[in-house]
């Protein structure tokens, strides 16, 4: 290699080091230089101007090749990210698990992220509900603030377009925001075609625009997340329908069986008891016989939902079949269960339903109670014990709640 080529090669190496180019890329560029020089005819009588021309030509070729290499690596990284996101988001149909995965991926994609929020959007009702949040300290179960109607999140949801705020303190959207709200923020709609299913907000402590590369990656995540959220919602709806009674909308027998298994596992772990109450309407057959099944269906729909209003959110009321109900009371002993059944009996006395002939329906309810683990340690044992106690109430004293054997007796 002529001295002039050594000089050009030395200058290129120094330039690469000064620019902080990765050592592997430096080797790639130097090898490329050698390949180019092999095709260049460098004579022995090269003057300074020729040297400069050759150096500029080679440098331009090398920089162009390095730029292409960087683009190729970036595209490869984005494809790998897309593949990884697709695997993550297709691994679960549980909405909560899915949302946690999305915010975790967003935090990983943008290294200087402060917080990530996802709000789920009901486009028909134009309503946002908190989904999940993540910051450096971990997952959050509630939002830092409720979305404002004229705020970023609602604007993104209604406009179905992303909004970038480079400086929150000097942007009209945040003119009345608290002083601790600073930095930059990005709102991205999670949408399928023209349907927005949610909004993802990503905030940073630093001010400034988001890079094109970051926006491209986050857009990939948003598109994948929107499809996954839609699928999870559809799965949840189908699952709920499969576990709901078609007439009353209450949980059905299948849902009851699952809930009992969950309560048994929980009770075994915590050492708490829980109650199972089987209930049956007294005299409901006469309603069907006298007024017909359509009226009987209306009675069941109205009465069952009326009873639900007086229960705790943790209580579980299911339609067992016909006019029979099953109530599961978590972490309840016999005394607590008696308080609930007394309250239900009083609630039933206040129930009003006008029959077709103008009479007001008067109806009572009998029940049987079993406790875990006293009366059984499996779902079938608890249901059978409560059902036998219910039978005793129906046979001997309607309108009462009997305790399964052992022990035995009436709760009046």
Determine, yes or no, domain membership for 301.
yes
Edge-to-edge order in the sheet of strand 324-329 = 316-321, 324-329, 274-282, 364-372, 401-403, 409-411
User: pLDDT (tens digit, 9 = 90+) per residue, 256-307?
Assistant: 999 999 999 999 999 999 999 999 999 899 999 999 999 999 999 999 999 9
**Are 335 and 356 found together in one domain?**
yes
Whether residue 42 has pLDDT greater than 70: no
Residue 90 lies inside a defined structural domain of this protein: no
Say which residue, 118 or 60, is predicted with more confidence: 118
For the chain, the domain total comes to 3
Question: What's phi and psi for 343, nearest 5 deg?
Answer: -65, -40
In a domain, 246, yes or no: no
Beta carbons within 10 angstroms of residue 98's beta carbon = 23
Last residue of a domain, one of 57, 85, 113: 85
182 shares its domain with 317: no
Look at strands 316-321 and 274-282 and give their pairing.
unpaired
Domain boundary among 221, 241, 261: 241
The predicted structure's pLDDT at residue 408: 44
User: Cβ contacts of residue 361 below 8 Å, gap of 6+?
Assistant: 287, 299, 351, 352, 353, 354, 355
- In terms of pLDDT, which residue wins out, 19 or 43? 19
Let me know if residue 334 belongs to a domain.
yes
Mean pLDDT score, 231-243: 85
Q: Is the pLDDT of residue 231 over 80?
A: yes
DSSP string, 259-286: HHHHHHHHHHHH---EEEEEEEEETHHH
| Same domain for 127 and 9 | no
One domain, residues 326 and 371: yes
Q: What is the pTM of this model?
A: 0.58
Q: Are residues 115 and 226 in the same domain?
A: yes
Q: Based on the domain organization, do 405 and 257 belong to the same domain?
A: yes
Please compute the mean of the pLDDT values over residues 133-161 and round it to a whole number.
86
Inside any domain, residue 386: yes
Note whether residue 51 is domain-resident: yes
In a domain, 332, yes or no: yes
CATH number at residue 340: 3.30.70.270
Query: What backbone phi and psi angles, to 5 degrees, belong to 219?
Result: -65, -40
Report, as an integer, the average pLDDT of 68-97. Answer: 66
Q: Half-sphere exposure (CA, 13 Å, Cβ side) for 138?
A: 1
Q: Does some domain include residue 248?
A: no
Work out the pLDDT band at 163, boundaries 50, 70, 90: very high
Domain shared by 218 and 260, yes or no? no
Helix (H, G, I), strand (E, B) or coil at 384: helix
Q: What is the pLDDT of residue 120?
A: 94
pLDDT tens by residue, 92-134: 778 888 888 888 888 888 878 999 999 999 988 999 999 999 9
pLDDT digits (tens, 9 = 90+) for 349-393: 889 899 999 898 988 999 999 999 999 999 999 999 999 999 999
- Write the DSSP symbol of residue 205: S
Residue 412 above 50 pLDDT?
no
Residue 2 has a pLDDT of 54
Tell me, letter by letter, the H, E, C secondary structure of 164-177. EECCHHHCHHHCCC
Q: What is the pLDDT of residues 179-214, one digit of tens each?
A: 778 899 999 999 998 899 999 999 998 999 998 888
Question: Side by side, which strands form the sheet with 138-140?
Answer: 138-140, 127-135, 113-122, 195-204, 184-192, 163-165
Range of the domain at 57: 3-85
Across the chain, what does the average pLDDT equal?
84
Q: Are both 309 and 217 inside the same structural domain?
A: no
Rounded CA-CA distance 363/283 in Å is 7
* 171/200 same-domain check: yes
**Beta-ladder partners of 198:** 120, 190
Strands (E), 81-221: 113-122, 127-135, 138-140, 163-165, 184-192, 195-204
218 and 277, same domain (yes or no): no
CATH of the domain at 196: 3.30.450.40
Name the residue with higher pLDDT: 23 or 285.
Answer: 285
Distance CA 131, CA 115 (A): 14
* 190/285 same-domain check: no
Residues 276 and 383 in one domain: yes
The CA–CA distances, whole Å, from 246 to 224, 250, 251, 278, 322 equal: 34, 8, 9, 20, 12
Output the pLDDT for position 409: 45
Question: Among residues 184, 213, 241, which one ends one of the domains?
Answer: 241
Residue 273: closest CA among 331, 312, 326, 327: 331
């Amino acid at each position: 290699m002529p001295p002039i080529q050594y000089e050009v090669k030395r200058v290129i190496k120094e330039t690469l080091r000064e620019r902080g180019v990765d050592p592997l890329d430096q080797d790639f560029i130097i090898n490329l230089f050698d390949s180019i020089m092999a095709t260049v005819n460098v004579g022995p009588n090269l003057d300074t101007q020729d040297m400069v021309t050759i150096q500029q030509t080679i440098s331009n070729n090398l920089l162009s090749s390095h730029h292409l290499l960087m683009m190729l690596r970036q595209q490869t990284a984005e494809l790998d990210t897309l593949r990884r996101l697709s695997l993550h988001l297709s691994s679960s149909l549980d909405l909560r698990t899915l949302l946690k995965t999305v915010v975790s991926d967003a935090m990983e994609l943008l290294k200087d992220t402060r917080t990530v929020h996802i709000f789920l959007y009901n486009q028909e009702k134009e309503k946002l509900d908190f989904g999940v949040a993540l910051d450096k300290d971990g997952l959050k179960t509630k939002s830092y603030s409720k979305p404002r109607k004229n705020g970023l999140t609602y604007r993104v949801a209604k406009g179905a377009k992303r909004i970038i705020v480079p400086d929150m303190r000097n942007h009209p959207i945040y003119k009345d925001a608290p002083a601790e709200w600073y930095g930059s923020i990005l709102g991205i709609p999670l949408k399928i075609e023209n349907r927005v299913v949610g909004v993802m907000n990503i905030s940073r402590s630093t001010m400034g625009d988001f890079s094109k590369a970051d926006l491209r990656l986050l857009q990939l995540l948003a598109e994948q997340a929107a499809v996954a959220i839609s699928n999870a919602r559809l799965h949840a709806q189908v699952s709920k329908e499969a576990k709901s009674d078609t007439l009353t909308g209450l949980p059905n027998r299948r849902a009851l069986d699952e809930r009992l298994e969950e309560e048994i596992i929980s009770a075994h772990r915590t050492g708490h008891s829980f109650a199972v109450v089987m209930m049956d309407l007294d005299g409901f057959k006469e309603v069907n016989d006298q007024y017909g099944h359509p009226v009987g269906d209306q009675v069941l729909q109205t009465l069952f939902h009326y009873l639900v209003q007086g229960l705790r959110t943790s209580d579980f009321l299911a339609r067992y079949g016909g006019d029979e109900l099953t109530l599961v009371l978590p972490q309840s002993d016999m005394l607590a269960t008696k308080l609930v059944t007394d309250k239900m009996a009083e609630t039933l006395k206040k129930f009003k339903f006008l029959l077709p002939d103008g009479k007001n329906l008067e109806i009572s309810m009998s029940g049987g109670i079993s406790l875990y683990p006293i009366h059984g340690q499996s779902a079938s044992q608890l249901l059978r014990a409560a059902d036998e106690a219910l039978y005793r109430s129906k046979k001997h004293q309607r309108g009462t709640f009997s305790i399964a054997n052992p022990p035995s007796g009436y709760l009046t």
